[in-house]
Amino acid sequence: MDDGGRYYLLLRPLDSLATQILAGTEGADAPFWSPDSRFLAFHAGSKLKKMEIGGGPPQTLCDAPGAAIGDWSRDGLILFADRQGRLFRVPAAGGSAAPVPMPEGEARRFPRFLPDSRHYLYESHRGRDGVDAVYVASLDSPQATPLVESAYAPFFAPAHSGSDTGHLMFRREGTLMAQRFDAARLKLSGEPFPVAEEVMQTGAGTSGGPFAVSENGVLAWRVGRQPQTQLLWFDRAGRHQKALAPGQFRDMVLSPDAKQVAVTEGDTTASDIWLLEVTPRGIRSRLTFHPAADAYAVWSPDGGRIAFGSRRERAVQLYWKAASGAGAEELLLKSDTVVVPTDWSRDGRYLVYTNLDPKTRNDLWVLPLLGDRKPQVFLQTEFDESHGQFSPDGRFLAYQSNETGRHEIYVRPFPVASGGRWQVSSGGGYQPRWRRDGKELFYVRPDQKIMAVGVNAGTAFQSSAPQELFDSQIAGNMLTQSYRYSVTPDGQRFLVNTLPDLEGSAVTVVVNWAAGRTR
């Protein structure tokens, strides 16, 4: 990230400590190389793009809203997955993305081509007991063959001077594993064996895991445990106060009385929701225990329940559970698409959630909690709308949208979105939060500054010019569904998930990694 808070791709030769910012890659993620290493493909601005490393601006290949991990075959085909786990293919020269045959209801992630350019590896959350597993499939058929359970982020490492056979490589917990694999016959042999321990785990917005292997036997991985963040208190002037205990936190929200914070701890493949007291005792209690990824906690207005998303099937579904931990969770909403809860109305009647639709991108939906609980669309356009937040009086909904080409914060009337629209941010904005009395609206600017906007919601909605409060030091990329900060009811203190300490997270490079290890 540069001084303006913008994210870029960086290039670093293995024989140098110097890094180079790749111009034109602002906001890019999930990079992957062409087979000849001349081009780099990446996702940015809801497009799949490529650029020649030797020079030249990025070229758009196709529309790719929410695209994640991809790969580039030897015969000039690109395969990529969207946020729903649907696979698409497009010529490396550009064109329209075509869907890859898949069974209805399945999600396939981290696709990686095999040498024949027709078969590919992928990860899917449909193994035994709902754990992630690695499969192999063909571009021409929806059928797939399971290879390894409890495995993530697959790669194929071809035979080279230090190895007489190819290997399937994958991450299992924090260890990089390898197993002999005949890519022509699609058969494993022997037993998997560890290659590297304490390989840092990363989320789905990366190129499939913090390791990579070349065709000539060079292996690189990032060393270290999952980076820990810390929840740090700030006042409105940006003065630090005592931090809470560190952890592998992804999203967080304060309870209505600001005495507890619900956090998601873990990575995108395995996480749970924990409750942390913000008192000096700092007692931690675990709320969810399912092996799937539970995340995106939202408190009920009385603090008695917590709604959350859980990836226990193909997509994230909505559940709720007593905040005391008593009893089992209850399924609130079963959906064919990923749904992420973001707020609960003060009268207790509605949950607002983001619906990740492959056709209309991110949309805002409302789930009534009384009556038949039939979901209702609030705002559905060709743009991304997310992070919905009810005003305290329930008359308005704040949210973020990229309708202008970058994300800004908007407010619309509730429950009828067509009654008006007001932009309250300037220069970009993410993750709105209301003050409890409804007189201020907060958001994060792209440079990570916390901003405050005065609100007058009398007969007609009015807002003041945004005011900069402080530099939040917020952790992670803002282009996610996670909330990275929360604010006390009086708007005077902010609890922020701050940047991790990356000490000890060096990159290790090994040549002929398989020499003497083939089994």
Take residue 23 and report the two structure tokens written for it.
């111009």
Predicted pLDDT of residue 68? 66
The DSSP call for residue 418 is G
Look-up: residue for tokens 């956090």? 263
Predicted pLDDT of residue 513? 79
Q: pLDDT digit string (tens) for 415-425?
A: 999 989 999 99
Predicted pLDDT of residue 303? 96
pLDDT above 70 for 407: yes
Predicted pLDDT of residue 336? 81
Nearest CA to 295 among 284, 304, 306?
Answer: 306
Nearest CA to 38 among 21, 22, 55, 26?
Answer: 55
d(CA 99, CA 81): 10
Q: pLDDT digit string (tens) for 250-286?
A: 889 999 999 999 999 887 667 899 999 987 677 899 9
Report the percentage of the chain scoring pLDDT > 70. 88
Task: Let me know: does 209 contact 168? Beta carbons within 8 Å.
Answer: no
pLDDT above 80 for 479: no
473 pLDDT tier (thresholds 50, 70, 90)? confident
Numbered ranges of CATH 2.120.10.30 in the chain: 10-225+503-511, 230-498
Helix extents (H) in 382-479:
none
505 pLDDT tier (thresholds 50, 70, 90)? low
CATH of 10-225+503-511, one of 1.20.120.420, 2.120.10.30, 2.60.120.260, 3.40.50.300: 2.120.10.30
Single pTM value for the model: 0.69
Predicted pLDDT of residue 358? 72
More confident residue, 142 or 132: 142
Take residue 387 and report the two structure tokens written for it.
């992070």
Predicted pLDDT of residue 129? 45
CATH fold of 230-498 reads: Neuraminidase (2.120.10)
Average pLDDT over residues 355-359: 81
- Please state, rounded to an integer, the average pLDDT across all residues of the chain: 86
Q: What is the CA radius of gyration of the chain?
A: 23
pLDDT above 70 for 209: no
pLDDT above 90 for 297: yes
Predicted pLDDT of residue 247? 81
Average pLDDT over residues 358-385: 91
Average pLDDT over residues 457-472: 90
pLDDT above 60 for 117: yes
pLDDT above 90 for 369: yes
From edge to edge, which strands make up the β-sheet containing 70-72? 70-72, 77-81, 87-91, 98-99
More confident residue, 499 or 117: 117
Q: pLDDT digit string (tens) for 73-105?
A: 999 999 999 866 789 999 999 999 999 999 876
126 pLDDT tier (thresholds 50, 70, 90)? low
Q: pLDDT digit string (tens) for 6-33?
A: 567 888 888 887 888 888 888 788 899 9
d(CA 127, CA 11): 36
